[in-house]
Structure 1
Amino acid sequence: MGCGVKLARAVLLIFTLIFLLIGLALLGAGIWMLVSQDRLFNVLNLINEHAGNSEIGDELERISQQKGVVATAGAILVAAGAISAVISFFGCMGAIKQSKFLLIIYAGIIGLLLGGQIAAAVLVMLYKDRAVSLASSQLLILQDKYLISINEFPTAVKQPESAVSLAFNSMFVSLRCCGVNNVTDAAASGSWQKSNRTWYNRGNLTVPATCCPLVDHADTTQLLVELRWDFLPEMLRSFSCPVSGDGMKTLPCVEALLAFVNQYSLWILVGCVAFAAAQLLVITFTFCLVCAISDDKKYG
Structure 2
Amino acid sequence: MCHCINKLVLVIVNIVFLLAGAAIVGVSIWVIVSADSMFKLVHLATQGSDNINNETLMSYKSSTSTLVAAAYVILVFGALSFLIGFCGCCGAIRESSCLLSIYAGAVSIVLIVEIAGGIAAGVFRAQIGTEMLPTLKRLEATRYLPINLAVSNDSNPNAVFSSLVNYAQVSMSCCGVSSMSDITGVNTLWTNSSRQYNGKTIVVPVTCCKMNKKDELLSHQNWTRIDDYLIDRNCPYNASSSQINKEGCYDKLNSYIDRYTLAIIVVGILVGMFEIICVVMACSMVQKIRSERQNV
Q: Please, what TM-score do these two structures have when normalized by structure 1?
A: 0.63
- When the two chains are superposed, the root-mean-square deviation of aligned CA atoms in Å is 4.4
The secondary structure found in structure 2 opposite 1:180 is coil
- 1:175 is aligned to 2:176: no
Superposed CA deviations along residues 210-238 of structure 1, whole A, max 9, x for unmatched, are 22345xxx332342233344242672436
AA at the equivalent of 1:280: M
Superposed CA deviations along residues 150-190 of structure 1, whole A, max 9, x for unmatched, are 22455454434444322211222332321113321123585
Superposed CA deviations along residues 63-116 of structure 1, whole A, max 9, x for unmatched, are 985555227566433333334545665564465353354233234234435545
Show the counterpart of 1:198.
Answer: 196
Q: Please, what TM-score do these two structures have when normalized by structure 2?
A: 0.64
Q: Is the 1:8–1:289 contact (alpha carbons within 8 Å) kept by the matching residues of 2?
A: no
Judged with a 3 Å threshold, the aligned counterparts in structure 2 of structure 1 residues 92 and 161 are, in CA distance, closer, same or farther, namely farther
Shift of 1:198: 0.1
The alignment of Structure 1 onto Structure 2 pairs a total of residues equal to 259
Judged with a 3 Å threshold, the aligned counterparts in structure 2 of structure 1 residues 195 and 86 are, in CA distance, closer, same or farther, namely farther
The CA distance in 2 between the partners of 1:10 and 1:284, in whole Å, is 12
- 1:253 is aligned to 2:241: no
Shift of 1:253: 1.2
Give percent identity, aligned residues only.
18
Q: Is the 1:15–1:282 contact (alpha carbons within 8 Å) kept by the matching residues of 2?
A: no
Show the counterpart of 2:283.
Answer: 290
Q: Which runs of 5+ in 1 are unaligned?
A: 34-39, 42-62
Q: Is the 2:140–2:183 contact (alpha carbons within 8 Å) kept by the matching residues of 1?
A: yes
The CA distance in 2 between the partners of 1:26 and 1:274, in whole Å, is 13
> Among 209, 213, 233, which residue is 1:212 paired with?
209
Q: Is the 1:114–1:276 contact (alpha carbons within 8 Å) kept by the matching residues of 2?
A: no
Q: Is the 1:144–1:190 contact (alpha carbons within 8 Å) kept by the matching residues of 2?
A: yes
- 1:273 is aligned to 2:269: no
Shift of 1:284: 0.6
Q: Is the 1:181–1:253 contact (alpha carbons within 8 Å) kept by the matching residues of 2?
A: yes
Show the counterpart of 1:235.
Answer: 230
The CA distance in 1 between the partners of 2:128 and 2:12, in whole Å, is 38
Shift of 1:140: 2.7
AA at the equivalent of 1:106: A
Shift of 1:10: 1.9
Shift of 1:132: 2.5
Map 1:56-95 onto structure 2 (within 5 A): 65-66=59-60, 69-70=63-64, 75-86=69-80, 89=83, 92-93=86-87
